[in-house]
Amino acid sequence: MWIDEQLAETYERVGVRAGLLESVAGIKARRWWPEDVTFDEAAARAGAVALEQAGVAPSEVDLLISTSVCKHHLEPSVACAVHNRLGLPATCMNFDLGNACLGFINAMTIASSLIESGQVKVVLIVDGEGSRQPQTQTIKRLQGPDTTLTDVFDQFASLTLGSGAAAMVMGGPRIGSHQFLGGVTRAATKYHDLCVGDLDEMRTDTAALLESGLSLAEMTFNDALAEGWEWNDCDTYILHQVSAVHTNKLCELLSIDKTRVPLTYPDFGNIGPAAVPYTLSASADRLDVGDHVLLMGIGSGLNCSVAELIW
């Protein structure tokens, strides 16, 4: 693995074995965009494909929501760049929605509410992520002669990231479309400092983040069951794609049948908010009309959302 080759001297010095990403996280590969492709361009490409497949013209889009974690700058929004690339009309409201890896599911919830209230008819949600910069900067730091074992583990999560993009068109009921039923969200913001990052560096207390994230997921799931949601026997569970450890423990904790959980992290890594919609799209061939599909995301902060679709 290329990352192992880049960090071979560091691993040897601090006593870490090669192949850590695959043996611990279950990640075999990740992707980078070509150097001349930006994450917002990738988001726009995904948006164009989604519009074409939905049979929706750019002129029909009332709202564009970008959920990209990656940002070139604080302002203007990523949504502005995507809006421009797609040639969306001046009447199309556009903004960024940032909530770490949970942003896309949050955007689906907001879009659904706006559609049901009659304020908009068609919403395009996009996400594009690029992991080249954070990973090259992380590797460069870890190659330093003063790097410690603690440094390696604090920045380990950065090495699991992947580049990717996804988009979704949401609108009112129509023949052949899928139904978004809504869901439940819970917060545990006392853990907001467990994973902090920007495009150059991300430091994570991996063990504490896993433990607190699982606890929040369990609370969210159990609260949903208490509210009347019937999620114990869904046909497919689309979980946020973090690692083998995270997925296995989450399935065990919530009694989810792992054969109903499609995986994309082994070949694409953690692609942030794009992970859930990307995995949903990649799983389309295994879904039948009427299937109940559960989406679950956990975002640094911590926040957790679980939402249901009828395929």
Task: Report the catalytic residues.
Answer: 75, 101
How far is 281 from 309, CA to CA, in rounded Å? 13
Scanning the structure block, which residue is given the tokens 């497919």?
236
- Two tokens, residue 101: 């890896």
Contacts of 167 (CB under 8 A, 6+ apart): 43, 46, 47, 49, 50, 51, 124, 125, 126, 127, 277
